[in-house]
Structure 1
Amino acid sequence: MFEQIIDPYVDVSKNAQPPVMPVAAADFRDHVAGGWNAVHPAIRLRMDRLLTSQTSTVFEGQGCVHRNWFGWLFAQAARLLGAPLVWRQGNNVKTTVTVAPTPSGNRCWHRLFDFEDGFQQLVQTSKVVDPKLGFLDAVGTDGEKMLATQMTVWAQGDSLFFESSEYWLRLGRFKLKVPPLLTPGKLHAEHRDEGNGWFRYVLKFTHPLWGQTFYQDGRFRMVD
């Protein structure tokens, strides 16, 4: 049974808008420490497509999804902010990731988690470049929700790494920094190329008091 957590996915590529090169694409590349050319060629090619394509790109994969008790509590509370965290657990969770352009030129990652018992949860976050805060992973189909995570990005070997530096609540023109103890913890993600079109994505949150609150590890490849 599908439980709709937030607004259903709409393929915005069907909107009648002239194709333009999104500003966020170039800005994202500028935020990679060490330069875009330091990124593994296969990841660079994959990300170039995701950041510039005017149509949706779909990836399918499978892996584990875990959280501790504090992660469960935080995921429940975060439902008020757009449900960006998965509160269920499983070792063989099928995941479909659809990356689509948004009306404002950002990119939204629509992640559908399909658990073995039939439960599904949709998580939607957008990559946004804020003129003051820099690169953000913001909740919502166009980053429109209040909660956003300020990110640093760097490349090393076969991997592209993402790590949170601050969490922010955006209230109109005002931005409030969230104290570390009131967050799910520091986010650390690794996108590692494994060849033949496959990549591994590992995501974890580590809280200063409650340890590893969330952990996800899966292998994906693009759907032709």
Structure 2
Amino acid sequence: MASASRISRTFAPAPSNSKLIDDHRFRALLSDDDWGRLPLAIWRRFSKRLADGKTIVYVGEVDQASISLAGWCVAQIVRAIGGPLPTGAETGVPMIVAVTEDAATGGQIWTRMTGRRSGFPQVISSCKRFAGPTGLEEYIGCGISVALRICVAHEALVFRSAGYLLQIGRSKWPLPEWLTPGDLTVTHSDLGGGAFRFTLEIVHPLLGRLLRQSAVFKEATS
């Protein structure tokens, strides 16, 4: 799409100019057998650590999206803590994911920008931290984070929520289930040729599937 091309030229750094460091943080969360079942391209993508403050950009397009009425309501409510969920279900629109090494936490800041056919793009930011009860958590904002467990399924890397936490000062408390949007699953699957699919799904125990969004990406080039 023309809009996707414009975005990639504006935001894409040259990967060849980025300092890469061998990264074992994700691999350490999986058994050797599970890691060995992943395609080589996923190994490389999740073993590539940038120097602190550097960014790598992936450019793609949303090809599947759905959101229920309950999902739309939940997405509006959580805007009070930074708007971590998609609020629309448009397809054929560009999406950019920028991953930046965070020197302060030793984690990664993920910024996702999704285009819209009218109005400004939606921007969602979070921070993946290698901490918490499972060794990996996603910090959303306002002291709220999601503990994540990772596994391998059908040669894809899968991230599943393992509880939502509220941190005040140095203390953390688990949030009751009724205060959470439900079970979150993020799947990263390789498509070959440098492309990969990123799928987000949230299912509530009572309200069913709230939303699903899938996009296909490639690493941006200058």
TM-score, structure 2 normalization: 0.81
- Which among 204, 213, 216 is matched to residue 210 of structure 2? 213
What is the alpha-carbon distance in structure 2 between the residues aligned to residue 201 and residue 170 of structure 1? Answer: 28
Task: Quote how far apart the aligned CAs of 1:193 are.
Answer: 0.4
Q: Residue 206 of structure 1 contacts residue 213 of structure 1 at CA under 8 Å; is this kept in 2?
A: yes
Q: 1:43-82 maps to which residues of 2 (within 5 A)?
A: 43-49=42-48, 52-54=49-51, 55-63=54-62, 64-82=64-82
RMSD (Å) for aligned C-alpha atoms: 2.3
Match for residue 106 of structure 1? 107
Match for residue 193 of structure 1? 190
Q: Residue 26 of structure 2 contacts residue 46 of structure 2 at CA under 8 Å; is this kept in 1?
A: no
Task: Quote how far apart the aligned CAs of 1:21 are.
Answer: 6.2
Q: 1:1-224 maps to which residues of 2 (within 5 A)?
A: 25-33=23-31, 34-49=33-48, 52-54=49-51, 55-63=54-62, 64-104=64-104, 105-130=106-131, 132-140=133-141, 145-224=142-221
Q: Residue 168 of structure 1 contacts residue 178 of structure 1 at CA under 8 Å; is this kept in 2?
A: yes
Task: Quote how far apart the aligned CAs of 1:102 are.
Answer: 1.2
| Runs of 4+ residues deviating >3 angstroms | 19-22, 33-38
Q: Residue 139 of structure 2 contacts residue 146 of structure 2 at CA under 8 Å; is this kept in 1?
A: yes
Q: Residue 134 of structure 2 contacts residue 148 of structure 2 at CA under 8 Å; is this kept in 1?
A: no
User: Structure 1 unaligned runs (5+)?
Assistant: 1-10, 12-18
Task: Quote how far apart the aligned CAs of 1:32 are.
Answer: 2.3
Q: Residue 32 of structure 1 contacts residue 152 of structure 1 at CA under 8 Å; is this kept in 2?
A: no
- Cα distance change, pair 138–117 in 1 and its aligned pair in 2 (3 A): same
- Cα distance change, pair 133–45 in 1 and its aligned pair in 2 (3 A): closer
Task: Quote how far apart the aligned CAs of 1:35 are.
Answer: 4.8
What is the alpha-carbon distance in structure 2 between the residues aligned to residue 133 and residue 47 of structure 1? Answer: 18
What is the alpha-carbon distance in structure 1 between the residues aligned to residue 97 and residue 206 of structure 2? Answer: 31
What is the alpha-carbon distance in structure 1 between the residues aligned to residue 93 and residue 168 of structure 2? Answer: 35
Q: How many residues are aligned here?
A: 200
TM-score, structure 1 normalization: 0.81
Structure 1 window deviating more from structure 2 (178-187 vs 26-35): it is 26-35
Structure 2 counterpart SS, 1:26:
coil
Q: Residue 181 of structure 1 contacts residue 209 of structure 1 at CA under 8 Å; is this kept in 2?
A: no
Letter in 2 for 1:115: R
User: Structure 2 unaligned runs (5+)?
Assistant: 1-10, 12-18
